[in-house]
Amino acid sequence: YEFMCVPLVHPLFKREFVSGSAKKRTGPFTRPDIVLCSSDWNTLIIGKLSPHIKVDSKNPSLKKNSEETLKQELALASHLGLVGVTFKLTKGIKENANLSRIICDKVSSMCSLQVWIQVPMENPIKQAYSYREEDCGKVESPWEWWNAFRIVCDYNRKLGVALIVSHDLPDQEEIDRWLGEPVKCLIFPTTLFITNKKGYPVLSKAHQALVKKFAMLEVQFVLTGQNRYQSITYYHNYLEYLWKDCESDGAVERYARGYEDYLQCPLQPLMDNLESQTYEVFEKDPVKYSQYQTAIYQAISAVKSKLEDKSRKIVIMVVGAGRGPLVRASLNAAKKANQSIKVYAVEKNPNAVLTLQALEKDLWEDKVTVVSCDMREWNSPENADIVVSELLGSFGDNELSPECLDGIQRFVKPDGICIPTSYTSYIAPVQSSKLYNEVRQCRDKDKHTLAHFETSYVVHLQNKYDIAKPQPLFTFKHPNNATDNSRYDTKVFKVRQNSVLHGFSGYFDTVLFNNITLSIKPSTHSPGMFSWFPIFFPIREPIQLKAGDQIVVHFWRQCNSKNVWYEWCISEPFPGPIHNPGGRSYTI
């Protein structure tokens, strides 16, 4: 076992701070700190607060005593340098207002102490009624207790959930809602375990599925209750086996490790020249370029079938060629189609052009012409049969693919093909106190205070709950007949259960050619592809949602001669302010 949850003071040792003979009692109130060295206190112990503390009692004497006891134990935890303390939440905020105030005072101070709030997964009243014949009716979900408590504590990031796993698991939707919360550990009572044929403790299939869901959040496991087997190590060995079984080690997992829920500003390759390392990472994607090659092969075959002069070379323009992966894909596709081609590799980054020129000289020779120029300013000597680009961002159009391709469109033949031929962005409402707190921590003295809530972020979403399924937002097609790339749309989402809206996750999918697609939308995600993480649009203030509510969100893609930017706002269930008006916080 890696750590223990230990009572800071003996659970039966009540102290008197108000009056009476017990107040004069001498001697220490708990064990001294020298029973462990400092490094052990720092890493191996989570302190349990005394269960008899009732700071919200109607009895003034008990209330006062409990307040002093709680302060004494929190001060001791800070003195010992514990990582955190834990206590059990058994009721809603009405019965815990004073407790939340004291905890809020503590976590708002400079101390680094975390507070793990033990919350049962299922309301104990509901569990009790499972043994009775009559129905218990509607009872409050323990998630409501936690939600109200952390709102009162202003979403403090030092608060975490220690989720007590129940015998009867709640609905799947209710379990998924916990995935959007800062769950630090799952608490397994030993009574949950059943004995297998060999006489060892195991969990039911439903509980195993629960462990798999939470494994991606890197939660800890805590075992509580009476040991019912020969050795307590049996539980440990089984839980460790379960944990290792949950670990996935695919290309996406290896690439994304360490970036879970980490906010990154989207790349701006039109404004900034990408570094060699960035090119190298994207070139390792095992899926993207094979799909591109298939699409180019099909496009070459389509053009070839219409050629009157069979000896004519097909002209392919690779715009935004980078270090040449799409040039290679084009040459491979042409070889497979047994068709001679002429490739123009257009790239504005002079450092990447060095690589292209070296490849042109040593490998590609007269098949490829390297052009060091911004594609929008280039005057092509001839028109293209096929234009190939990889200018897509996590939201499809957020790296200015429409604007860049509009600049080259005049050199596409009337029946020419663009790869990709179209792409669509998607948005979905999301609950994630982790992301909300991450955005809240951002500071930039050169920008106004709301700037970070009006910026989109690329993020590998893990610690989140999807309030509703993604819906399509903006679509762009190429060749593009429209001259205006600004867009506006309204989306309506139905809320399935009480939850908290912290922002919107964004995805995209693209049709490269015919039926060849790439997607980062969860339901159609291209297996093994890691070139794009989703995008996240935060909102300034979390919105409390009730089951049956409608979320109505408005999204704009605004353009002027120099910049493109997004604006967004909510009109239901409560009207909210426009985020990023006029591109004041973020432009592309």
Which CATH number is 361's domain given? 3.40.50.150
Q: Which entry of 67, 360, 390, 454 is annotated as an active-site residue?
A: 390
pTM, two decimal places: 0.86
Residue 259 is predicted with a pLDDT of: 61
Residue 248 is predicted with a pLDDT of 64
The response to whether 234 counts as a known ligand-binding position is no
Domain shared by 151 and 288, yes or no: no
Query: What pLDDT score does 250 carry?
Result: 60
Within a domain: residue 205?
yes
The one catalytic residue in 67, 73, 360, 399 is: 399
Q: Give the Cα separation of 391 and 512 in Å (integer).
A: 12
**Within a domain: 458:** yes
Say what the pLDDT of residue 476 is: 92
The reply, when asked if residue 288 is annotated as ligand binding, is: yes
Residue 227 lies in a domain: yes
Tell me which residues of the chain have a pLDDT lower than 50: none
Query: Do residues 283 and 374 both lie within one domain?
Result: yes
Let me know whether 473 and 335 are in one domain.
Answer: no
> Does one domain contain both 130 and 35?
yes
Q: Is 271 annotated as a binding residue?
A: no
Residue 413 inside a domain? The answer is no
Residue 365 lies in a domain: yes
Active site annotation includes 173: no
Task: Say if residue 347 carries a ligand binding annotation.
Answer: yes
Whether residue 399 lies in the annotated active site: yes
- 407 inside domain: no
Domain boundary (215, 250, 285) is at: 250
Q: Is 446 flagged in the annotation as binding?
A: no
pLDDT tens-digit map of 71-82: 999 999 999 889
Cβ-based neighbours of 248, under 8 Å, separated by 6 or more? none
3-state secondary structure 438-502: HHHHCCCCCCCCCHHHHCCEECECCCCEECCCCEEEEEEECCCCCCCCCEEEEEEEECCCCEEEE
> How many residues can be counted in the chain?
588
Cis amide prior to 573 (ω within 30 degrees): yes
Determine, yes or no, domain membership for 259: no
| Same domain (yes/no): 366, 433 | no
The CATH number given to whatever domain includes residue 60 is: 3.20.20.150
How many domains is the chain built from?
3
100 plus 158 within the same structural domain: yes
Per-residue confidence (pLDDT) for residue 581, from 0 to 100: 92
Question: 141: domain range?
Answer: 4-250
CATH of the domain at 489: 2.70.160.11
Q: Are 310 and 231 part of one and the same domain?
A: no
Would you say 529 is a known binding-site residue?
Answer: no
Same domain, 458 and 522: yes
Domain boundary among 234, 250, 266: 250
